[in-house]
Amino acid sequence: MIVYPLPAYVQRFFTDRLANQLRASPHTVASYRDTFRLLLQYAAERLGRTPTDLQVADLDVDLVCDFLGFIETARGNSARSRNTRLSAIRSFFKYVAINEPQLLHHCQRVLAMPSRRHEKRTIDYLTRVEIEALLASPDLDTWIGRRDRTMLLLAVQTGLRVSELANLNRGDVVLGPSAHVRCMGKGRKQRATPLRKDCARALRDWLAERAGSDAEPLFVSNRGGRLSRDAVERLVAKYAAQACNSCPTLQNKRVTPHVLRHSAAMQLLQNGVDRAVIALWLGHESVETTQMYVHADLQLKEQAMEKTRPLEAPTGRYRPSDDLLAFLEAL
């Protein structure tokens, strides 16, 4: 009987598939790593064997299904987190199916597992007044304040992801007649985003103050190192809390770097920019991803409502004429 030791496939999946073939980002690798750490611990406890002794066949559809239920009930994971874990498991079994056709049926059963439907909340974004209050919060008399205002302005104008923003180098900023910023986006896709005149001017001043080579980080900490994702998130939260004093509507919003990204997209949409252009601007894989901004924009819905007129049909209520129809109506 042919056996398929799980450790060999897991190691090859991370080193060969993710690192070499897909060139996955460190964030993706860390997310997949955490998923398999939890899955292997769960499988080892349930089967009474160490993770090293597990076989690929041990991770069948029943075990994976029970694991997903476990992280929802015992660990309190949301449906969205559960789907993220399932996505990592699917990616692994796609890799196994390609390399081991004998396990194709086993893999297909796991790959057929559906994602759990979950409530999709309307996205959060900042209005123009809230954006201006946020940008006015940093103290421009200090080096840190000038750095932070430049970073906030760049984030809210370009819609860069927090990882893209933190990974920018001085050489990624191109100033001149067609000022733009280059970044390595999600899926290892490079893109260039144009800069408004006010943002280009702020970056020009910052680059003059932030001396160094093109290979050095654009935004650095007070120790000279690159700002981390967590550091950027803390800075955004700090200035949002300060901006609440001049803009009370911010008190009811949790402002994060991703909210600034949403705000940039909403500014484009409200100024008549086509959704296809917004998708290119943000580095989305599909134009359909930008559909969420249309759903969130109440102004566009109000404009559409103004183009309609009241109905002139007589008012009334449907009354079923049959007992069976009445039963169905009551459901």
Sign of the four-CA dihedral 289, 266, 250, 220: positive
Q: Is 201 a catalytic residue?
A: no
Q: Is 293 a catalytic residue?
A: yes
Phi/psi for 13 (5° steps) reads -60, -45
Which residues lie closer than 8 Å to 106 by C-beta, 6 or more apart?
56, 57, 60
CB atoms within 10 A of CB 209: 11
Q: Is 261 a catalytic residue?
A: yes
CA gyration radius, the chain: 26
Phi/psi for 184 (5° steps) reads -100, 110
Catalytic site residue from 17, 170, 261, 275: 261
Catalytic site residue from 186, 191, 204, 229: 186
First to last CA, the chain: 56
Catalytic site residue from 32, 42, 95, 293: 293
Amino acid at 212: G
Q: Single out the residue of 212, 219, 215, 199 nearest to residue 143, CA to CA.
A: 219
CA atoms within 13 A on the CB side of 167: 15
Q: Is 186 a catalytic residue?
A: yes
Sign of the four-CA dihedral 224, 227, 228, 230: positive
Q: Is 258 a catalytic residue?
A: yes
Catalytic site residue from 161, 210, 262, 275: 161
Q: Is 295 a catalytic residue?
A: no
Catalytic positions, written as ranges: 161, 186, 258, 261, 284, 293
